Amino acid sequence: MSDYKMLIGGRLVDGDHQMDVINPATEELFATVARASERQADEAIEAAATAFPAWAEVPLAERQAKVSQLADAIVANADRLARALTQEQGKPLAEAQGEIAWAEGYLRHYATLEIAERTIQDDASGLIQVRRRPLGVVAGIIAWNFPLLVACWKIGPAVIAGNTIVLKPAPTTPVTALMLGELCRDIFPAGVVNIITDANDLGGYLTADPRIAKVGFTGSTATGKKIMASAADGLKRLTLELGGNDPGIVLDDVDVRATAQGIFNAAFLNCGQVCLAIKRAYVHDSIYDAMCDELARLAEAAVVDDGLAQGAQIGPIQNKAQYEKVKAFLESARRDGTIVAGGEVIDRAGYFLRPTIVRDVTDGHEIVDEEQFGPILPVIRYSDIDDVVARANASPYGLGASVWSRDVDSAVSVANRIESGSVWVNQHVAIGPHIPMAGVKSSGLGVEQAEEGLAEYTQLTVINVARGG
């Protein structure tokens, strides 16, 4: 008997298989959860397909009310969800509580959104209206870094638009998604929301199924490409929010201490396991040494511990596979640059690394060119603004970027030259449910959040009526 069950067709069910969930701070068993077979994945898809026609006819106001109820339920269970999130994902409890609050806030905003329709022409000669209709069954596949928040990112707009959904969390962080399923069971009609788990073996099954009309995926670029290929035969709609290698460009006029704090916070949030984290900091030559010193000071002062421990600021890397990848990046950093803070594995149970600052590296080094997705920040020297913009844009990624300066106009001028879906000035990871989020190049397709994100879950239809003789 598993500790947490899946939601299929309005019922909480055990899996045909089970799988263990490891606490990354202790390397000990945290939970045993249901794991779906292909048969159960098929049941979930069929339940969603069966529920779709009736759900699509439910008035928008009622669909919005259901999403608001889910937000209420998250608030009512916030403490339980936050502790489970920390234990399965590793992030400090304060960050887990923040994720719960974000999930609630995003759902609240989704519940205010209208399905945008417009009239192009309405006169004696004709009527032309642009309408939006639900697509059908959506497959939501999510990553392990923000398992509850991203689950709500998929569920909210999908059901508001009138679709039904089959959600699949990452195998290393299924618990909070399954807890969310418990809440959804008591709110939505049977089959509207279904949540199944796997061992990374059912993604292709979902994306290839002809009953799936759209795939919403958050995760690595490599996996996103596989999903795109799998969905090609059916020409499925896709929203792919993929990897990033976000640059932070620091101009020569900044307050070094204040800017270093902003850069550090944006680089080491969730132990650096954020697609929108600053992954490479470009710092002007005139302040380079001072910025490296201040970043090193912050890294050395950071409290690394079990996320449930009092005062923990940085938790463990979420899983052993990622831990080994990040350790390899440490070796690359040591080979190509100078580690001025961190650089070592912490000798204790759990997947812990000290936050690491690497200087004297540049473009072409692995630690700069690749997405580390862990607690390592390379700091790269530059002297010419045109050169640094070209270097920032040379990456195959384009998810987020930031420019830091006392002169906001100058910073905005630089920001306008960056090839990225989001570019911030004097801040980073400043996202919200009312702000569209998109990637360019290898960072993704489509839009998440806001009205533009909701539209991704609809089919545009033009009604064109001739009037008169």
Active site amino acids: 241, 275
Dihedral (CA of 358, 360, 366, 369) sign? positive
Amino acid at 306: D
Distances (CA, A) of 370 to 32, 44, 244: 34, 37, 9
CB count within 10 Å of CB 393 equals 15
Question: Residue 118: which H helix or E strand, with range?
Answer: strand 118-123
Q: Cβ-count burial of 436 within 10 angstroms (0-12 exposed, 13-18 middle, 19+ buried)?
A: middle
Listed in sequence order, the residues at least 6 apart from 181 whose beta carbon sits closer than 8 Å to its beta carbon are 5, 6, 7, 12, 193, 195
State how far the Cα of 417 lies from the Cα of 412, in Å rounded to an integer. Answer: 9
Q: Could you give the CA distance from residue 367 to residue 315 in angstroms, rounded to a whole number?
A: 21
- Cite the beta strand spans of 149-297 per DSSP E: 164-168, 193-195, 212-218, 237-241, 246-250, 278-284
Helices (H), 161-278: 175-185, 203-208, 221-231, 256-268
**Which amino acid does the sequence have at 100?**
I
- Give how far Cα 447 sits from Cα of 240, 364, 438, Å: 8, 30, 5
- Of the candidates 429, 10, 93, the one whose C-alpha atom is nearest the C-alpha of residue 248 is 429
Closest Cα to residue 458, out of 135, 52, 153, 115? 135
The CB density around residue 390, as the number of other CB atoms within 10 Å, is: 12
Q: Distance between CA 186 and CA 309 in Å, rounded?
A: 33
Report the b/e string of 448-468 with b at 16+ CB within 10 A: bbbeebbbbbbeeeeeeeeee
